[in-house]
Amino acid sequence: MHKVISFERGLSRFKPLENVVVYDDFDLGFNGWLDLTPNFVGPGFQQQSSRLDLGSWGPAQLSAAPMRFAASHGSMEGTYSLKLPTRAAAGPYEQPPIAGSMSTAIKRLSLNDPDARYVQLEAWYSYTPHQDREGLGEEDIRAFGMWFDIQDGEHRWQPGVRYVNSVNGELVKKWQYWQVSDGVTREQWTGLEHGWEQVGIDALWCGRRYGDGSADGFQWIPGGAQQLVYNESPDKLNWMYMRLTVDVVAREYVEFQSVDKVFDLRGLKATLSPKYAGITQLINPVFYIEAGADRIVNMYIDSVVYSTGATFPAKRGAV
């Protein structure tokens, strides 16, 4: 049999590994991306006990990015992107995130490639606050990022990246990676004596946070200060690229690229947690944004690629 393989032109703005598992543009729908919610499995469909209302995050939307004084922004290519909007709600950085202060979108998948050593998540994205007040608004966006929720045959672990944009109104603009600091206890992690969240799981809202932007669940990426493109008004979007590559055999980070900057993360370990029941071979890519003020802030994702491969090309991008 003679096979002819052709790729969609839009893939040329990504750098996928050998097997493209997911290539989602949002012009034709949600493509299976949905709000990240808790488990409503208790009596009366109540959610599992938690300090936070994990069902409160803002609902994902298909957005043409219509702006208050600009026209519809559309997306980088096509008309729609996936928008993650928070509610108009934020507490102090040092406190656990309050109800509504985040928006998250997840795609629920399972590992399919027995030869995969590497997994990679790539996206073109942008971010801006709701134009409901005067000013630049940049400092009202606290943080955003992306990560993998993985459970293999032995561990559950969540490698990811987080951009700390501002802390209590002061711009920080540095990247972190998901890894729990040594010695963090389960009680410090969840705030509860008992609970279902293992240390290392759900760093987005677990663990203590500190006034310099650090947190129990995240470590600063060496040299990770970066000025992203935040344009001169809340109604201007610029599309940016990010890519995270993870070694699922060694269970460690490999590389992170943001815009034109490539960070070598080899040797940095993910935090390994005990397995959870029933989810072996799970791999879920997730995106999120968190508000830093009582104001809706939005992350827009034009398109996403998740790919796997047995090898990782030695040279992936500009340094």
Partner 1 sequence: MLTSATTLVERRTVLTGDFGTHPYEAGWATEALFYVRTEGPHPTLTIQAQVSPDGVEWLDRGARLTLPSDRSLIDVELYGFGTWIRLFITGSTSEQPTTLLVHLALKG
End-to-end CA distance of the chain: 42
Question: How far is it, in rounded angstroms, from Cα 233 to Cα 161?
Answer: 26
Kind and range of the H or E element at 190? helix 186-190
Residue found under tokens 């603009």: 173
CA of residue 165 relative to chain centroid, distance: 14
Per-residue x/- track, 29-48, partner 1 (CB under 8 A): xx----x-x-----------
* Dist CA 144 CA 162 (whole Å): 6
Smallest distance from the beta carbon of 40 to partner 1, in angstroms?
A: 9
Residue from 11, 20, 62, 184 in contact with partner 1 (CB under 8 A): 62
Q: Which is nearer to partner 1, 30 or 276 (CB)?
A: 30
Selected from 131, 168, 273, 280, the binder of partner 1 by CB under 8 A is 131
Among 10, 22, 56, 117, binds partner 1 (CB under 8 A): 56
CA atoms lying within 13 Å on the CB side of residue 43: 0
Q: Does 252 bind partner 1 (CB under 8 A)?
A: no
Q: Does 67 bind partner 1 (CB under 8 A)?
A: yes
With tokens 């040092």, the residue in question is 94
97 lies in the site for partner 1, by CB under 8 A: no
Out of 58, 200, 234, 285, the residue judged to bind partner 1 by CB under 8 A? 58
Select the residue interacting with partner 1 from 14, 23, 80, 239 (CB under 8 A): 80
What is each CA distance from 70 to 64, 73, 294, in whole angstroms?
Answer: 12, 8, 23
Count of residues of this chain found to bind partner 1 when the rule CB under 8 A is applied? 28
Q: Do residues 142 and 167 touch, judged by C-beta distance below 8 A?
A: yes
3-state DSSP call for residue 11? Answer: helix
Instruction: Determine if 243 is a binding residue for partner 1 (CB under 8 A).
Output: no
We find the least distance from the C-beta atom of residue 14 to partner 1, in angstroms, to be 24
Written as six digits, the tokens of 18 are 């050998």
Query: Closer to partner 1 at the Cβ: 129 or 217?
Result: 129
Stretch that binds partner 1, among 80-88, 214-222, 245-253, 266-274 (CB under 8 A): 80-88
Of 16, 25, 83, 254, the residue at the interface with partner 1 (CB under 8 A) is 83
Determine, following the binding rule CB under 8 A, whether residue 89 of this chain makes contact with partner 1: no
Tell the smallest beta-carbon distance from residue 142 to partner 1 (Å).
19
Q: ∠ at Cα 195 (189, 197), nearest 5°?
A: 55
Nearest residue (CB) to partner 1, 53 versus 187: 53
The nearer residue to partner 1, 65 or 123, going by C-beta atoms, is 65
Cα dihedral value 30, 35, 41, 47, nearest 10: -170
For residues 296 and 290, give the distance between their C-alpha atoms in angstroms, rounded to a whole number: 9
Q: Which one-letter amino acid corresponds to residue 89?
A: A
CA distances for 171 relative to 193, 213, 292, angstroms:
34, 10, 11
Q: Which stretch binds partner 1 (CB under 8 A): 124-132, 170-178, 251-259, 268-276?
A: 124-132
**Site membership for partner 1, residue 214 (CB under 8 A):** no
Q: Is 68 in the site for partner 1 (CB under 8 A)?
A: yes
Cβ neighbours for 122, distance < 8 A, ≥ 6 positions apart: 14, 15, 16, 241, 242, 243, 244, 304, 305, 306, 307
- Chain residues that interact with partner 1, rule: CB under 8 A: 28-30, 35, 37, 53, 55-56, 58-64, 66-68, 72, 79-80, 83, 85, 87, 130-132, 296
